[in-house]
A = this chain, B = another copy of it.
């Protein structure tokens, strides 16, 4: 999708891909297949690149520092990216700069989890491995010290967080360039099902102007303090206290084009992908404003049938305005294989169309 956005800008990519079957490797011309965890592979790949960027956060921080030492610009840089790689580092930094976070600390064992719970409102508690989690993996919801054994088995530091009693999840997405220009997209509502993003609504319905500005300013401030370059997604909890006051807390950070920004491909003047590329190359950023009153993104998950072709035809025929984005992945149950975007003036209609298409493609809706 980043390549797609780079084509009209005249920007040519060289891709380091795990396998020749990866989504990006199917559409980019210049593909090197190799392991991003291997420094020699990275160094060989990076030779001749003007700048390096990512579509995931898993390249080891020390390898990125080595590339920088070789004189290759890495954007976002390792000192920024580590905050999206390591949840412990992220929480420490956000706390330092005064960004609102759930109560948290690194815990050493199940007994320590029990102490953490006792320091606050008690169980349940959320445990997360500080590195490697994704789409609900590496995250545990624990109700007792006995529940808390598994997270420690991987030998990775474990972060405990209070279970926030949130009303919904939001995301504040911004893009920042090396010389400090930044644009903020409208704050969106993100609806998760089984720990995986299901639907994104742009803008977040009913969000007060005040909270919206607060969320955008928070994301811009985090980007500046952490020196982020490119797209930053700040995943937020919206919570309501006993007096009815709304507030936001930071859940996660992602430093790359993010699922909560996929709506921008069809719903914003400039997509997150185009603006990420523009930022990474220190080009002037594009207008982030929405083009429609409402845009809804729904993820397409694999269902029980590996062949989606007839569903794909049905969805296009049923809704000629539907914007389909398929990733060229083999269909496996629950795997994200694409997304759809819909837009318009009537939120109920826009949501129904997105949900219908995503459900039909998955096979959970059959009419």
Bound state CA distance, A9 and B166, in angstroms? 36
Contacts of A265 in B (CB 8 A): 8
Q: A128 in the interface, Cβ–Cβ < 8 Å?
A: no
Known contacts A27-B3, A313-B284; A270 and B320 CB within 8 A of each other = yes
Query: When the two chains form the complex, which single residue of B8, B26, B325 contacts A29, counting CB atoms closer than 8 Å?
Result: B26
Bound complex: CA of A12 vs CA of B278, how far in Å?
26
B10 touches A316 (CB 8 A): no
Q: Which residues of B contact A327 (CB under 8 A)?
A: 10
B4 near A338: Cβ-Cβ < 8 Å = no
* Whole-angstrom distance between the Cβ of A340 and the nearest chain B Cβ: 10
* A308 closest partner in B (C-beta): B10
**Copy number in this complex?**
2
In the complex where A26-B29, A27-B3, A29-B29 touch, is A9 in contact with B320 (Cβ < 8 A)?
A: no
Chain A, interface size category, equals: 35 or more
A316 touches B27 (CB 8 A): no
Report Cα–Cα, A4/B249, bound state, in Å: 38
User: For residue A322, which residue of chain B has the nearest CB?
Assistant: B286
A residues 329-367 in Cβ contact with B at 8 Å = 338
Interface residues of A (CB under 8 A from B): 1, 3-4, 7-10, 12, 25-29, 31, 183, 265, 269-270, 278, 283-287, 291, 312-313, 316-317, 320-328, 338
